[in-house]
Structure 1
Amino acid sequence: MIYVVECPPESEPAAWFAYHLADLSRKIAADDACEAWELFDEVTPRALLDALGHEQVDAAARTEFPSVCALGDQFGWDTTLYRADHLLGRGVLSPDPVDERAALLAALAARPGEHRVYWSDSEAVLATEGADTWLCDATRWRARHALHQQLLSLEVLADNL
């Protein structure tokens, strides 16, 4: 699982989880101006054109969708292009690989406040036990507590009291 700790400037810290990257993307997009596919996507110009209803690059496709055709002409029709609006800019498609985790971290960083992501159960548990000095700073005890409670509720930790 993936764990997120959010410390908004005007409210109490919260911790939440996602099952995997696609779930994390969906949950981040729920509170973002971008759709999940705008936070991160991989697509070829050919697939874009096909999704727009043109199975081949013809005069009609070039007339209706000149920007998609320009991408195909520039980068190749089967070249994977990456979209990550918070990293690359709104609507930018680039042939340079983008890591999905980096794209989602950028989306969280665009929000007010502070955020931490722990990519596994063990990373989250270790963070609450002192491995992350940010989380264990005395001023963030509520954030640490929120993550600890999340780990207890998911039975990653046992409450042996």
Structure 2
Amino acid sequence: MAYILSAERHEDPSGSFQRYRAFVNAERHRFPASVLALVESDWYFDFTDHRAPHDSWLREVRITEIPGENEDHPPEIQMRVRLLGAYHDGDIEFIYSGVISYDIRMMDLTQGHCDWRYDEFRLSESGDVIHEIEWCGAIDTGRWLIQARNVEHRWYPSAGQGP
């Protein structure tokens, strides 16, 4: 169930965030610490904060398969998503470790990926993190769904810049 993506925000903006906060609070014991720190922070969903991904532009996606030691240890998939921050004063990086699945759907790339619009973190029944991301310009351009064991967020300010 989505809480704070486009459809939910447009229908009931404040209520959607209240329901999301209630969901996070009820499931906080299941979230990895790095993800819980993001969703409970006062800056991640604040569009004026330079570390927040809203309105950022895609720079790079890298998917790496790290071989397992043997048949009993399967390979680990890692994804890195690097963004130019919305204020163009730094880069944001998401690192997904232990990727279980990903679905990257883009409808119209004639203008590029456009802006990282909204995103939210949820949990699968098995406890993996589900990160759903909406991309949008003048029209919706895509939706990504990444399921992983953990997600980290990093902010790299440009030289002489800060959040």
TM over 0.5: no
TM-score of the two chains, using structure 1 as the length reference: 0.21
TM-score of the two chains, using structure 2 as the length reference: 0.21
Q: Which has the higher helix share?
A: 1
Q: Which has the larger radius of gyration?
A: 1
Q: Which has the higher strand share?
A: 2
